[in-house]
């Protein structure tokens, strides 16, 4: 997800046909990512801090930024008093930039949609922005993210409108609810992911409480 400023980077991201290709596309884009998304008014890493602050006490424990990218959320959550944040991403290059911000305790290379390298009930909450979108992490990623979040913890993430149904996110939400693994807490109306460019790119934020 990005603006119109570097079509080649965007084209590589959307042309990716596998996790490896997508990780390579982000590697190529990593150094320009912050500048280009800022120019487009990309707001999701900053907006998500509102939902974290609404539902997660500062002393709740460790938080996971799932698909943290360059770690745009970290410093702003830190400023709000959340100083125990980990991140995962499948791009080493994006993780290196996140590490340079100094706001993350641990950063690990891991792939959403595969088994995650943490034990059950490890995190007080996870949050994720811009990752549940076209050609990115599948709805099935939520299984593992919920597994590593403790009961009473929260799942806070955005989903792009174009994949909500086609990517079977709604089905996954219901399946996890029917299995007694989480309950819905809040669903935002659709809103723009970019304040400046691409008004057609809409996302919704979702909050669930893990049971």
Ligand X SMILES: C[S@@+](CC[C@H](N)C(=O)[O-])C[C@H]1O[C@@H](n2cnc3c(N)ncnc32)[C@H](O)[C@@H]1O
Among 113, 150, 161, 209, binds ligand X (CB under 6 A): 113
Residue 64 as a binder of ligand X (CB under 6 A): the answer is no
Residue 72 as a binder of ligand X (CB under 6 A): the answer is yes
Residue 142's Cβ-count burial label (10 Å; 0-12, 13-18, 19+) is: buried
3-state SS, one letter per residue, for 75-106:
HHHHHCCCCCEEEEECCHHHHHHHHHCCCCCE
Residue 1 as a binder of ligand X (CB under 6 A): the answer is yes
Does residue 131 contact residue 168 with C-beta atoms inside 8 Å? Answer: no
- In the complex, least distance from residue 97 CB atom to ligand X, rounded to whole angstroms: 9
Identify residues 10-29 at the interface with ligand X (CB under 6 A): 19, 22-23, 26
Identify residues 34-63 at the interface with ligand X (CB under 6 A): 44-45
Does residue 77 contact residue 106 with C-beta atoms inside 8 Å? Answer: no
The three-class DSSP label of residue 175 is helix
Residue 182 as a binder of ligand X (CB under 6 A): the answer is no
Measured distance CA(195)–CA(205) in Å, rounded:
16
- Beta-strand relationship, 123-132 and 63-66: parallel
Residue 144 as a binder of ligand X (CB under 6 A): the answer is no
Residue 130 as a binder of ligand X (CB under 6 A): the answer is yes
In the complex with ligand X, which residue's Cβ is closer, 86 or 89?
Answer: 89
Q: Which residues bind to ligand X, rule: CB under 6 A?
A: 1, 19, 22-23, 26, 44-45, 67-69, 72, 89-91, 94, 111-113, 129-131, 136-137
């Amino acid at each position: 997800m990005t603006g119109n400023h570097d079509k080649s980077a965007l084209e590589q991201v959307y042309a990716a046909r596998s996790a490896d290709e997508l990780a390579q596309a982000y590697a190529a884009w990593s150094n320009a990512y912050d500048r280009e998304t800022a120019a487009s008014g990309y707001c999701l890493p900053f907006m998500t801090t509102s939902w974290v602050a609404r539902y997660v006490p500062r002393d709740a424990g460790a938080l996971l930024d799932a698909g943290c990218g360059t770690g745009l959320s970290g410093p702003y959550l830190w400023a709000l008093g959340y100083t125990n944040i980990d991140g995962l991403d499948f791009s080493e290059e994006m993780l290196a930039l996140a590490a340079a911000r100094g706001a993350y305790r641990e950063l690990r290379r891991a792939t959403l949609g595969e088994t995650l390298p943490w034990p059950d009930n490890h995190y007080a909450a996870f949050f994720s922005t811009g990752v549940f979108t076209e050609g990115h992490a599948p709805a099935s990623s939520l299984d593992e993210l919920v597994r590593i979040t403790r009961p009473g913890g929260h799942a806070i993430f955005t989903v792009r409108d174009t994949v909500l149904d086609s990517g079977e996110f709604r089905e996954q939400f219901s399946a996890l609810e029917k299995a007694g693994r989480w309950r819905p807490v809040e669903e935002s109306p659709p809103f723009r992911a970019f304040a400046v460019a691409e008004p057609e790119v809409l996302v919704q934020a979702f909050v669930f409480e893990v049971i």
